[in-house]
């Protein structure tokens, strides 16, 4: 997931360009979304420390580092136009985002196709794209170079789209397999629903990344310049975070709802 065009504004104008009250609501939802992802990622990492499962650790790293990276990038770029000393915070955010994208690619490989050579190569390719994009952007002196920034964005967006797109396709594909087994009584309805929700979360994250990149490359402006688009993306982020939460740690009431649906 890429930071949603939270970039310095050299003219000093409000980068959100929406009413202040709505802006406050959107910012609040943004931090709620990222907090949910941080909590899910942290819980997965704690579980992985006990089980020593590489896939669990990779997905936990993806959620936790991705959310933390977006938060740091957003905060630092709002301060950066006034305080250049915040660059290390911004750079750290970019590193966390790259690690998060890489974790998702590794997790997708290890969960769905651990014995497939092309999946291992695809995972390595996504990790390389994310690492190169991050390295180009945080090299000393590159913060003021529009050319380096454009190159960084190409690599970073490509790695994010590839990682989220792949994870989403695999989640929905596996959900379809479980649905067929479910009809024969060979699968758990809760597990099938978990993969469906994971697919929804990935699709929403993919949509926000594609929207942010589309505005940058097709229209040449930040996503925040369109209040309607920015609100839609915030809604998608909320759906992504809640779906991720329910996918990995479905609340008791949701489990009961699924049980009633199956019994009916």
Determine the pLDDT at residue 225.
67
Q: DSSP characters for 191-209? A: HHHHHHHHHHHHHHHHHHH
Determine the pLDDT at residue 66.
94
Residue 35 has pLDDT above 90, yes or no: yes
How far is residue 231's CA from residue 244's CA, in Å, rounded to a whole number? 20
Residue 192 has pLDDT above 50, yes or no: yes
Instruction: Look at residues 109, 96, 215 and name the one whose alpha carbon lies nearest to residue 167.
Output: 109
Instruction: Look at residues 172, 165, 8 and name the one whose alpha carbon lies nearest to residue 74.
Output: 8
135-156 burial code (b ≥16 CB/10 A, e <16): ebbbeeebbeeeebeebbbbbb
How far is residue 90's CA from residue 98's CA, in Å, rounded to a whole number? 13
Determine the pLDDT at residue 213.
75
Determine the pLDDT at residue 151.
58
Residue range 102-116: average pLDDT?
A: 96
Determine the pLDDT at residue 57.
96
Asked whether 58 and 104 are in contact (CB, 8 A), the reply is: yes
How far is residue 202's CA from residue 96's CA, in Å, rounded to a whole number? 18
Determine the pLDDT at residue 68.
95
Lowest mean pLDDT among 59-63, 184-188, 247-251: 184-188
51-74 burial code (b ≥16 CB/10 A, e <16): eebebbbbbbbbbbbbbbbbbbbb
How far is residue 155's CA from residue 223's CA, in Å, rounded to a whole number? 19
The structure's pTM equals 0.84
Residue 123 has pLDDT above 60, yes or no: yes
Q: How confident is the model at residue 186 (pLDDT cuts 50, 70, 90)?
A: confident
**Higher-confidence position of 216 and 109:** 109
Look over the chain and give the mean of its residue pLDDT values, rounded to a whole number: 83
Q: How confident is the model at residue 160 (pLDDT cuts 50, 70, 90)?
A: very high
Residue linked to tokens 């199956």: 262
Q: How far is CA 193 from CA 82, 173, 227, in A?
A: 47, 12, 33
**Higher-confidence position of 233 and 129:** 129
Task: Indicate the helix (H) or strand (E) that contains 168.
Answer: helix 146-183
Determine the pLDDT at residue 234.
87
Determine the pLDDT at residue 210.
85
Determine the pLDDT at residue 174.
96
Alpha helices in 52-145 (DSSP H): 54-80, 87-112, 117-138
Determine the pLDDT at residue 60.
96
* pLDDT tens profile 204-219: 999 998 887 777 666 6
pLDDT cut 70: percent of the chain above it: 79
What the chain holds in terms of domains, given with CATH numbers, is 20-138+146-258 (1.20.1070)
Q: Both tokens of residue 90?
A: 């911004």
| Cβ contacts of 212 within 8 Å, gap of 6 or more | 2, 3, 4, 5, 157, 223, 233
Residue range 97-111: average pLDDT?
A: 96
Lowest mean pLDDT among 32-41, 136-145, 152-161, 164-173: 136-145
How far is residue 168's CA from residue 176's CA, in Å, rounded to a whole number? 12
């Amino acid at each position: 997931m890429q930071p949603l065009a939270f970039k310095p504004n050299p003219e000093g104008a409000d980068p959100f360009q929406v009413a202040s009250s709505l802006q406050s609501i959107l910012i609040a939802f943004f931090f709620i979304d990222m907090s949910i992802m941080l909590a899910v990622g942290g819980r997965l990492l704690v579980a992985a420390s006990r089980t020593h499962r590489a896939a669990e650790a990779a997905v936990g790293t993806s959620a936790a580092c991705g959310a933390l990276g977006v938060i740091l990038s957003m905060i630092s770029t709002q301060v950066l136009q006034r305080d250049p000393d915040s660059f290390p915070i911004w750079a750290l955010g970019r590193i966390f985002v790259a690690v998060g994208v890489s974790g998702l690619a590794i997790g997708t490989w290890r969960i769905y196709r651990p014995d497939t050579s092309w999946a291992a190569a695809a995972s390595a390719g996504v990790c390389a794209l994310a690492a190169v994009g991050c390295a180009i952007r945080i090299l000393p002196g590159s913060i003021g170079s529009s050319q380096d920034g454009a190159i960084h964005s190409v690599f970073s967006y490509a790695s994010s789209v590839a990682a989220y797109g792949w994870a989403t396709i695999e989640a929905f594909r596996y959900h379809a397999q479980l649905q067929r087994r479910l009809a024969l009584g060979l699968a758990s309805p809760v597990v099938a629903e978990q993969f469906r929700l994971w697919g929804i979360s990935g699709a929403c994250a993919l949509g926000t990344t594609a929207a942010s990149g589309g505005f940058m490359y097709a229209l040449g402006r930040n996503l925040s310049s369109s209040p309607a688009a920015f609100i839609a993306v915030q809604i998608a982020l909320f759906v992504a975070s809640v779906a991720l939460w329910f996918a990995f740690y479905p609340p008791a009431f949701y489990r009961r709802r699924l049980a009633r649906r199956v019994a009916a």
